[in-house]
Chains A and B, each alone.
Chain A
Amino acid sequence: GAVVSQHPSWVICKSGTSVKIECRSLDFQATTMFWYRQFPKQSLMLMATSNEGSKATYEQGVEKDKFLINHASLTLSTLTVTSAHPEDSSFYICSARDGTAYEQYFGPGTRLTVT
């Protein structure tokens, strides 16, 4: 089946630094990738949608200059949290979709802790 990986699985960084999270589709070409954020004991909230080779579309309330998304190839999307602050600590999950398929394949998530 379709597999999506994320790296790193967890990261701790100091306030003010930037962190990059990678999302890869391992056995299919992901024309669209999605980035979600999940706060403790809450549901997933969509942050942005990225299509290969074009700019990401951000959801209302998500700062595009703070959460930089790059979908440079059909198998890789990256999320960079710039100038991270403790309130950015969260579980970040990516998903990928192949063409017009209804199903999204989810990565295992990245736990970010900003100290």
Chain B
Amino acid sequence: AQSVTQLDSHVSVSEGTPVLLRCNYSSSYSPSLFWYVQHPNKGLQLLLKYTSAATLVKGINGFEAEFKKSETSFHLTKPSAHMSDAAEYFCVVNSGGYQKVTFGTGTKLQVIP
């Protein structure tokens, strides 16, 4: 069984300040974890993924995430928010090659000028 919890449904930050979007997971196996971004009325874009290699994963647009097995977390961070980062972010877990993925409920990021 697998599940993913995004702890915040809405996060608001000022432009130029750090971003932290939290994600905790549950998995019976060694999981793969993903972060996707969705802009309004658009499809999903992969930001980054963890697949049992380095625990600190760097993605596109300056985002990164750290896989912490002891804390079952995979939080998404960015040092400095940009207005274009305003979007919905989904944390996704996959516990095995043929398993279905499970989506978190999403975190809406608002960036204040």
Contact = CB atoms under 8 A, between A and B. Distances in A.
Interface stretch (A14-22, A41-49, A65-73, A75-83): A41-49
Contacts of B42: 108-109
Taking each of A46, A102, A104, A107, which has the highest tally of chain B beta carbons within 10 Å of its own beta carbon? A102
Contacts of A42: 105-106
A102 B106 contact: no
A102 B43 contact: no
Interface residues of A, number: 21
B46 A103 contact: yes
Interface residues of B, number: 21
B101 A104 contact: yes
Contacts of A104: 101
A109 B43 contact: yes
Contact of B103 (A44, A107, A108, A111): A44
A44 B46 CA distance: 15
B103 A106 contact: no
A100 interface: yes
Contacts of B56: none
Nearest to A102: B32
A49 B43 contact: no
B94 interface: yes
Interface in A19-60: 32, 34, 41-44, 46, 49
Interface of A: 6, 32, 34, 41-44, 46, 49, 91, 93, 100-104, 106-109, 111
